[in-house]
Structure 1
Amino acid sequence: MESTYLNCLALFGVGGAHPGGLNLTKRILSKEKIDGSSKILDVGCGTGQTSAYIAKEYGSHVTALDNNKIMLEKAGRRFQSMNLPIEIRHGSAENLPFENHTFDFILSESVTAFTDVSKTVPEFKRVLKPNGVLLAVEMVRDKDISGQQMKEILDFYGVKQLLSEQEWRSAFQKAGFEQIEMEKVELQPDIQQVGVSNDYSLSKQIHPSFYEIFEKHHHLSIVYKDILACGKFRCTV
């Protein structure tokens, strides 16, 4: 398996890898009108922490999608152990395997930035129902940076772009989202250290190189703490 940041998250089975973790997710969802009739897509569901919370807390119809089969296997075990009727789908955010106007809500927690935003955001718009809501927690470039700094971030995280707040807004607007709200999320670099999170689903064999990736992520989050911000976006169709 290639030694990448995303594969590292899969092998460690990190639940709530996005800044703020599940506590932030709970706060975001508490402000929405979600009930048992809501159809919700958790894009890049990972090990299924958010999907499981929504299904248990709200009784909603939840679909958990990820393009990493290791993550989906771990999510499936979580759902089965909790006896939750969550639909699991393998697929890409850039080409969602759903019909138009399927979902009331889409959650993207540190996912969209790892895709081609120009393809993924229009897909979100396509599968949302009229008046549907996109809730996205994403990496934001808070300041101008050098080419060398940009390359280090893009290469390590495997992201295709590092967007500013205005560039994110433009992407949402271009896709047809009519109302876009953004709130900064305070980053706390130490929450992603190995052993700190209480939601891990470790694979049986993890090469030492993946521990090094985890530590480098922690290092970069400190080095670039004044450059890499996190934005909570709420976009409505």
Structure 2
Amino acid sequence: MKYTYLDCLAQFGVGGAHPGGLSLTKEMFSKEQIDEKTTILDVGCGTGQTSAFLAEKYKCKMTCLDHNEMMLEKATKRFRSKNLPIDARLGTIENLPFGEKSFDLVLSESVVAFTDIRQSLSELIRVLKPNGVLLAIEMVLEKPLSEKEQTSIMEFYGVSRILTESQWNSYLQKAGFHQIKIEKSQMTLEQPEFENTTDFYLSEQLDEELYDILDHHEQLTKKYQNVLGFRVFRCCV
């Protein structure tokens, strides 16, 4: 294939493509104490839908980062159109371009699994302030899969591993996080479906192969809807 799944997300410019979409993000942040002094880093920000929402609602100090130039360009356009003072950076979660203890809260919406998990968690804990919080949404393996099936899914999505809830918990603990709270949402990986996602920043020309990737993604989510789930993780430094 010419394109990866992440290339597909960038070309379509889908906002809220993570499990649960923006509605889950709103639910997560409704439980947090955030004001204009709170510093938040949104890693893997995509087109900036979440960052824009948080900046508008809470007037907090937002910084966002993505490794995909197309995604970041679309995010920057979004922020400019809304006149939002959000610091948008190009970079990777494994090597964050920020100093130690820079943020009160880090948000990672379906991002860490696409990276070197150990290195990413190490970086996230490095940039969080004492008593800082990591909020993360990540895919989890609910039931065993054959090695062939796991490999096929990992290769399509470009994820390094498909972890169970207990494996995620172990990774987080070993990274140095504590007070780890894990919640299972009532939503499924199929929510929101791409066609029901209202937030798009479409590129001008879309290759036919991108639609094939989108179709394959939808087939996989339906086929493995009882096998692949996700969790919301809240972890403290």
TM class by smaller structure:
over 0.9
Partner of 1:208: 208
Using the alignment, how far apart are the partners of 2:17 and 2:109 within structure 1? Answer: 8
Partner of 1:13: 13
Q: Distance in 2 between matches of 1:59 and 1:141?
A: 36
Letter in 1 for 2:173: Q
2:80 alignment partner AA: Q
- Secondary structure of the 2:180 match is strand
TM-score (norm 1): 0.97
Shift of the alpha carbon at 1:190?
5.8
Aligned AA (1:187): T
Look up the match of 1:69.
69
Find the residue that maps to 2:136 and give its secondary structure: strand
Residue of structure 2 in register with 1:178 after alignment: 178
Matched with 1:148 is: 148
Q: Could you give the per-residue CA deviations for residues 91-111 of structure 1, whole angstroms, max 9, x where no partner exists?
A: 000111110000000000011
Counterpart position of 2:230: 230
Q: How far apart are the structure 1 equivalents of 2:141 and 2:103?
A: 29
- The match for 2:105 is 105
Number of residue pairs the alignment of both structures matches: 236
- Indicate the residue corresponding to 2:122 in structure 1: 122
Moved segments of 4+, more than 2 Å: 190-193
- Equivalent runs, 1:38-77 vs 2, <5 Å: 38-77=38-77
Where 1:235 maps in the other structure, the secondary structure is strand
Unaligned ranges ≥5, structure 1: none
Percent identity over paired residues: 53
Partners of 1:178 and 1:99 in 2: how far apart?
21
- Look up the match of 2:218: 218
Q: Report SS of the residue matched to 2:181.
A: strand
Alignment partner of 1:192 is 2:193: yes
Question: In the aligned structure 2, how far is the partner of 1:68 from the partner of 1:158?
Answer: 14
Are the equivalent residues in 2 in contact too, given 1:190–1:218 (CA < 8 A)?
Answer: no
Write the deviation string for residues 55-96 of structure 1: whole angstroms up to 9, x where unpaired: 000000000100000000000000000000000100000111
Contact 1:101 1:128 in 2 (8 A): yes
Instruction: Specify whether residues 211 and 28 from structure 1 end up closer, same or farther in structure 2 by C-alpha distance, changes over 3 A only.
Output: same
| Kept in 1: contact 2:189–2:230 (CA 8 A) | no
Which whole-Å CA distance do the structure 1 matches of 2:39 and 2:80 have between them?
20
8 Å contact from structure 2 (residues 189, 228) kept in 1: no
Whether contact under 8 Å (2:42, 2:65) holds in the other structure is yes
TM-score by length of 2: 0.97
Question: How far off is 1:188 after superposition?
Answer: 4.9
Q: In structure 1, what residue type is equivalent to 2:164?
A: S
Inter-partner Cα distance in structure 2 for 1:100 and 1:188:
34
2:229 match: secondary structure: strand
Partner residue in 2 for 1:164: 164
Paired residues of 1:110 and 1:139 also in contact (CA < 8 A): yes
**What are the Cα deviations for residues 111-168 of structure 1, in whole angstroms up to 9, with x where unaligned?**
1111110110111100000000000001011111100110111011010111111110
The equivalent of 2:35 in structure 1 is: 35
CA distance in 1, matches of 2:184, 2:125: 23
Give the drift of 1:197.
1.1
